[in-house]
Amino acid sequence: MRVPRLRLPAVRERHAARGTRRVVPRGSAMDRFGLRDLLAESAYGIAARPGRLVLTVLGTVLGIGSLVVTIGLAQTAAGQISRQFDAVAATQVVVEPATAQSASGQRATGRIPWDVEDRLGRLAGVEQVGALASVDVGDATITTVPVHDPSAATLAQPPVVAATPGLLAAVRGTVVTGRWFDAGHDERADRVVVLGSRAATRLGVNRVDSQPSVFIGDRAYTVMGIVDDLARRTDLLDAVILPVGTARADFGLGALEQAQVTIAVGAGPVVGEQAPVALAPNNPETIDVQTPPEAPAVRAQVQADVNAIFLALGAVALLVGGLGIANITLLSVRERVGEIGLRRALGARTSDIGRQFLVESAVIGLLGGLVGATLGVGVVAGVSLAKHWTPILDTWVTLAAALLGGVIGLLAGTYPALKAARVEPIAALRGGA
């Protein structure tokens, strides 16, 4: 039986205008080892030895993985640190009148208006506002019983402080018993006081349901509550605190000394800029605002410290990974000289051969990068979970790390690819394979 005759039409030639017509490739340029062919041949080359692929990418996986872990843990730790930092300091703003040096000492050049709570409360990022001033009670004594015995030894007096209704929240205080006064007490100038917990102990007051009184001089003030914590102004724990309205009416309080403001994280710069204008529109320079240090600065500094060491380790791992790819690709070129010779005989140019090996090692590097980045993200997530941290890892860091693997593969493949391109076809074809 005869096999059918071969009837393959000659491949159509494209005629070029100049005398080189016979050399012009047949078909279109797209048909001669195009990008699709290059990628397909490279993929076959990589997939031919899966076991070796694993060995080849191992170094890159470790290198990229350790980079991602390093950066991820540094970012996570920095986030953690700035969160703790935020909790105590980064959300507090203190506003005071500016002072100038004069002959009689420090003198305030501006004043905090009585309606400071309304004015600052309107600013974006402001959460709680309160203000206070110390009250000069002259030589009036502070006791729980009205005493008129001037011969009795005078103990150290607890300080008397006037506060706006918002102050308790603004200095992060808590009520131990009773309650804190409100705007109504303030407006009506009610004779009420709240005691700091230490002042209460000193005055022997521990319950307020029986409406005990504290005498300042000979005026009686009803104790509404006892407060504690007051993290921003722990000195108030020793104080007898009364509404500003009451202090103005009874003691002629002339001005507020300080406003305490809690703000949202990151609102510091904005509040610092707007608060003076809100309080003193005509001469904002008379108001001093102390804003918290910016969180990003804190974070960047911590990050820099942590990263330096581990980035160096990651870089070493990457160098080793790159050398691994270079080494094994070189081995692969040596093993595949027969294939290279064959491809040359089939019409491959030196550049076609070089490109194929270059793409192979770049793809191997990219694979290593992807796997390494994925593992790295997993480790960061795992460590964070174990330590109850919030994992922080920029997406672009992960992507860039994966791409870095590809770049390393490309660099590592350059020398082997040049070697492959230089393989002499006759020598390569002489052997078996």
Taking the complex as a whole, the smallest distance from the CB of residue 54 to other proteins amounts, in Å, to 17
Token pair in block for residue 430: 């002489």
Q: List, as one string, the DSSP characters of 38-59.
A: HHHHHHHHHHT-HHHHHHHHHH
In the complex, the smallest distance separating the C-beta of residue 347 from other proteins, rounded to whole angstroms, is 2
**Spatial separation of the C-alpha atoms in residues 182 and 207, rounded to whole Å:** 20
Q: Judged by CB, which is closer to other proteins: 338, or 378?
A: 338
In whole angstroms, the minimum distance from the beta carbon of 370 to other proteins comes to 24
**Is the CB of 10 or the CB of 145 nearer to other proteins?**
10
The residues, any chain, with a CB within 8 Å of residue 293's CB and separated by 6 or more, are 89, 90
Q: What is the spatial distance between Cα 253 and Cα 245, in angstroms, rounded to a whole number?
A: 9
In the complex, the smallest distance separating the C-beta of residue 419 from other proteins, rounded to whole angstroms, is 17
Cβ nearer to other proteins, comparing 43 with 313: 43
Of 3 and 386, CB closest to other proteins: 3
Q: What are the φ/ψ torsions at residue 302 (nearest 5 degrees)?
A: -60, -45
Neighbours of 121 (CB within 10 A): 15
Residue 9: CB minimum distance to other proteins, A: 7
Residues that bind other proteins (CB under 8 A): 2-11, 20, 22-28, 30-34, 36-37, 41, 44, 47-48, 338-339, 341-352, 425-426, 429-433
| 289 DSSP β-pair partners | 95
Closer of 55 and 152 to other proteins (Cβ) = 55
Give the torsion sign (CA, 379, 385, 386, 389): positive
Burial, 160: exposed, middle or buried (Cβ in 10 Å; 0-12, 13-18, 19+)?
buried
At residue 62's C-alpha, the angle toward residues 57 and 68, to 5°, is 120
Residue 325 Cβ vs other proteins, minimum distance, rounded to whole Å: 20
Q: What is the CA radius of gyration of the chain?
A: 39
Q: Closest separation between CB of residue 7 and other proteins, Å?
A: 7
Contact 135, 253 (CB under 8 A): yes
Q: Which is nearer to other proteins, 27 or 382 (CB)?
A: 27
Backbone angles phi, psi at 156, to 5 degrees: -60, 130
Least Å distance between CB 53 and other proteins?
13
Residue 397 vs 429, nearer CB to other proteins: 429
State which residue, 28 or 211, has the beta carbon closest to other proteins: 28
Q: How far is CA 375 from CA 54, 281, 370, in A?
A: 15, 56, 9
End-to-end CA distance of the chain: 33
